[in-house]
Chain A
């Protein structure tokens, strides 16, 4: 079995009085086992919709999702979800929040074993000292650590991350990215992360999937990030290809996310009127088929 996760012709639309509003149309993506894939795109393009369909929290309109050979129907603890706000239950301690899921998944294990699992993951994310505190007594960053521990503690078949570090300051974000990397590598978990942070995507991902603007968003391009793991943040930043790849992603977000949909990018036609969309000509590879290999870029 080559693909661990297959999203085929995934479509989401909502009925409106004027006919269905299509958010995502024919979204196709295959993910290998153990791969870390990021999904980037402008806010509102539907990337979170794709993720919540995978999580089973948002019903699929058309198309389907296969995870480990089985079609997904509804939510379940085989997918660990890390939400943008950690969604901890405020009346439970950090430990109890993690244990709630562990109890659910490892119901055959003994009480002691389950407590050990929760404790282990909380210690790994750096909360060994404060796991018996309530969320209100934890900082934003610590709460998100709990969220990560809770997702990993389920030993899920797949990890879904919805802008997990979007609400954190940059120092905390770097710390948590490293924590996530470490856990991900240790558990060999397949992960899909929604983000709009280009540097975060570059540091964490094996592949970066770029989504066009919505409505009716689809996969615009896919970028392979072939750097070896484990990655060191400084080495990544100093890599000769880093800025080339970064430019490519930003070029997509600024220009091709629009032009692939036949739209005019903002700022590109100030005062020129709607005639020929000027940036189309300046876009480096407007019709380059996905995926784009690193070699092609380096040439």
Chain B
């Protein structure tokens, strides 16, 4: 039984990774030398997707970013985790703004019918707007801020895009509070503040954390676009520079890093979420 579980949780994912690597290798491009019709030896590009570097080549060319993940050789030549760290810092700030603004807005939406009627249409219209569309507006809005205009624009974009899941989930959570709990507050005549802190917030917490988890996912999605547009140093910016340099292996490394970091953030948040759900 224990063995079966170990197989399922460890071996199966490992098999999946190996299979994916093999497929990657199989379709990727490579170079071989062959004799041309004129009799000279010349390089021939092979493979299904000729411009896609295979796993081995990718590792070979990007190793310096990985084996010294925190190295700083030049401004644009740093370890991959160092780039990631810069990105995480700005994401953390933007995400913090998103939940600090989004949670109270969600509460107001959940508590007040009038507030919902007023602002729900606007929220529904703004919600699907892409970060690429917010970014220029953010930069313009803070263009008076001089050197920090870029940073403020980036924070604005992350905050605005990441806010919606927090807003909507909190609102749903508040509306889903069982009438029984509210009756307790009414029977005891709890004050507004006491009702908020003793009943509304604890009862909404699981929903709020679902919102927080989804918001963090979006904040991390947005960072790449933000760095591409603003030129802030970070993982997204690294990806974009290497694309301009034609170094496709670095793009693959960046994509994998962004994915792994996003996955780890999501896992961490969902552990936190489970803690609150278990109450």
- Residue of B180, B184, B190 with most chain A CB atoms under a 10 A cut-off: B184
Chain B residues contacting A278 (CB-CB under 8 Å) are: none
Residues 91-125 of chain A, each 1 if its beta carbon lies under 8 Å from chain B, else 0: 11000000011001100000000000000000000
Q: Which residues in chain B, 169-200, are within 8 Å of chain A measured between CB atoms? A: 180-181, 183-184, 186-190, 194, 198-199
Contacts A89-B198, A100-B198, A134-B279 hold; do A76 and B180 have CB atoms under 8 A apart? no
Bound state CA distance, A101 and B199, in angstroms?
A: 13
Q: Is the CB of A77 within 8 A of B189?
A: yes
Bound state CA distance, A57 and B181, in angstroms?
A: 12
Bound state CA distance, A105 and B189, in angstroms?
A: 9
Q: Is the CB of A79 within 8 A of B187?
A: yes
Partner pick for B184 among A56, A87, A136, CB 8 A cutoff: A87
Chain B residues contacting A155 (CB-CB under 8 Å) are: none
Chain A residues contacting B231 (CB-CB under 8 Å) are: none
Q: Is the CB of B187 within 8 A of A55?
A: yes
- Residue of A77, A83, A91, A105 with most chain B CB atoms under a 10 A cut-off: A91
Partner pick for B187 among A57, A91, A136, CB 8 A cutoff: A57
Tell me the smallest distance from the CB of B33 to a CB of chain A, in Å.
Answer: 70
Whether, in the assembled complex, A85 has its beta carbon less than 8 Å from a beta carbon of chain B, the answer is yes
Q: Is the CB of B189 within 8 A of A75?
A: yes
Tell me the smallest distance from the CB of B100 to a CB of chain A, in Å.
Answer: 22
Given A56-B186, A81-B187, A105-B188, 11 other A-B residues pairs in contact with their CB atoms under 8 A = A55-B187, A57-B187, A75-B189, A87-B181, A89-B198, A91-B202, A91-B279, A100-B184, A101-B188, A104-B188, A134-B279
Chain A residues in the interface with B (C-beta under 8 A): 55-57, 74-77, 79, 81, 83, 85, 87, 89-92, 100-101, 104-105, 134, 136, 154
Bound state CA distance, A56 and B203, in angstroms?
A: 23
Partner pick for A57 among B186, B190, B203, CB 8 A cutoff: B186
Bound state CA distance, A100 and B188, in angstroms?
A: 8
Q: Which residues in chain B, 232-279, are within 8 Å of chain A measured between CB atoms? A: 279
Q: Is the CB of B199 within 8 A of A89?
A: yes
Residues 202-221 of chain B, each 1 if its beta carbon lies under 8 Å from chain A, else 0: 11010000000000000000
Contacts A87-B180, A87-B183, A91-B279 hold; do A77 and B188 have CB atoms under 8 A apart? yes
Q: Is the CB of B180 within 8 A of A75?
A: no
Q: How many A-B residue pairs have CB under 8 A?
A: 51
Bound state CA distance, A83 and B187, in angstroms?
A: 11
Bound state CA distance, A8 and B181, in angstroms?
A: 30
Bound state CA distance, A100 and B279, in angstroms?
A: 18
**Closest residue on chain A to residue B181 by CB atoms:** A89
Contacts A89-B202, A134-B279 hold; do A75 and B181 have CB atoms under 8 A apart? no
Chain B residues contacting A104 (CB-CB under 8 Å) are: 188-190, 194
Give 23 CB contacts A-B under 8 Å. Answer: A55-B187, A56-B186, A56-B187, A57-B183, A57-B187, A74-B186, A75-B183, A75-B187, A76-B187, A76-B189, A81-B183, A83-B180, A85-B180, A87-B180, A87-B183, A87-B184, A89-B181, A89-B184, A89-B202, A90-B279, A91-B203, A91-B279, A100-B190
Tell me the smallest distance from the CB of A190 to a CB of chain B, in Å.
Answer: 17
Bound state CA distance, A113 and B227, in angstroms?
A: 59
Q: Closest 9 interchain pairs by CB?
A: A91-B202, A87-B180, A75-B186, A104-B188, A91-B279, A75-B187, A101-B188, A77-B188, A81-B187
- Residue of B189, B199, B203 with most chain A CB atoms under a 10 A cut-off: B189
**Closest residue on chain A to residue B191 by CB atoms:** A104
Chain B residues contacting A55 (CB-CB under 8 Å) are: 187
Bound state CA distance, A76 and B189, in angstroms?
A: 6
Chain B residues contacting A83 (CB-CB under 8 Å) are: 180, 183
Bound state CA distance, A74 and B184, in angstroms?
A: 13
**Closest residue on chain B to residue A83 by CB atoms:** B180
**Closest residue on chain B to residue A136 by CB atoms:** B279
**Closest residue on chain B to residue A74 by CB atoms:** B186
Tell me the smallest distance from the CB of A174 to a CB of chain B, in Å.
Answer: 26
Tell me the smallest distance from the CB of B101 to a CB of chain A, in Å.
Answer: 25
Tell me the smallest distance from the CB of A11 to a CB of chain B, in Å.
Answer: 22
Bound state CA distance, A55 and B202, in angstroms?
A: 25
Chain A residues contacting B180 (CB-CB under 8 Å) are: 83, 85, 87
Chain B residues contacting A154 (CB-CB under 8 Å) are: 188
Chain A residues contacting B190 (CB-CB under 8 Å) are: 100, 104
**Closest residue on chain B to residue A151 by CB atoms:** B187
Bound state CA distance, A89 and B180, in angstroms?
A: 9
Bound state CA distance, A134 and B202, in angstroms?
A: 14
Bound state CA distance, A92 and B197, in angstroms?
A: 12
Bound state CA distance, A81 and B194, in angstroms?
A: 20
Bound state CA distance, A296 and B202, in angstroms?
A: 56
Chain A residues contacting B279 (CB-CB under 8 Å) are: 90-91, 134, 136
Chain B residues contacting A100 (CB-CB under 8 Å) are: 184, 188, 190, 198
Q: Which residues in chain B, 73-110, are within 8 Å of chain A measured between CB atoms? A: none
Bound state CA distance, A244 and B205, in angstroms?
A: 55
Tell me the smallest distance from the CB of B123 to a CB of chain A, in Å.
Answer: 29
Tell me the smallest distance from the CB of B224 to a CB of chain A, in Å.
Answer: 38
Bound state CA distance, A76 and B190, in angstroms?
A: 9
